Amino acid sequence: MGIARKLMIRFLGTRSQRIYSEFADVIVRTTKEFEKADQSIADDSIKNLLIIWFVSLPWTYFETLFINKESWNVPLLALLDNAHVINGEDCALVSQAFCLWFLEQLLRNDENYKSYSMKEIEQWIRDQVTKGIFLTEKLKKFRKVLRDLPPDDWYFEYINEILSVLYTDHEKRSSIITSMRLDSQLRLALSIYSTEMIVTSKQAQSEKL
């Protein structure tokens, strides 16, 4: 994105455009930090893993849910359009932490990921990534909240975290997330699209393993 266009979006863009621009800045910053990281074999292995699960997936996931208009995600588009706060950076950090939680499930349950250590990955993020400590703390929160929930509710907890970043009115946030949880079509679509994106990420990673 050119500098002139970015400035135009920052000053004249819609809330959604401005949030997404800030979100993209975090992803670009993360990619640059990866490029500057140590070049040991272990670090290269972790970087190859995180390029998919910490860069590509968070960006694609957020874009699919909140930016690209589809028949099923109109309520989600409205979240950004009506946001009280322009805070794309924290939206990106929440998204990265949520995708790390998915990665952790693979490390525990998929033989292809058994050689990786979540402890080492978290330490690498703390050492190499801006706000790495915040990210690992957010991951811990997702662990605590999601461990006893059925899969359908995982995605709503992620949306709830995005709401907490963008909305200052607790009652408003509560009303929005309650309404969404009761939307059976949205629930089904979230499950389908989330599963598809995880499968796609696994396929992309399998080419690197």
| pLDDT per position as a tens digit, 144-170 | 999 989 989 999 999 999 999 999 999
Residue 99's closest CA among 149, 145, 144, 60?
60
pTM of the model: 0.92
Which region holds residue 131: left if phi is over 0, alpha if psi is between -120 and 50, else beta?
Answer: left
pLDDT over threshold 50, residue 13? yes
Counting beta carbons within 10 angstroms of the beta carbon of residue 135, is it exposed (0 to 12), middle (13 to 18) or buried (19 or more)? buried
CA angle 194, 23, 16 (to 5 degrees): 85
pLDDT over threshold 80, residue 79? yes
Around Cβ 92, how many Cβ atoms within 10 Å? 26
Q: Name the more confident of 3 and 55.
A: 55
Dig out the tokens for 17 from the structure: 């455009």
H or E stretch at 48: helix 41-50
Tokens 């995605």 belong to which residue? 155
Residue 158's closest CA among 82, 75, 92, 94?
94
CA 65 to chain centre: 10
pLDDT band at 89 (very low <50, low <70, confident <90, very high): very high
When pLDDT is averaged across residues 168-176 and rounded to a whole number, the result is 96
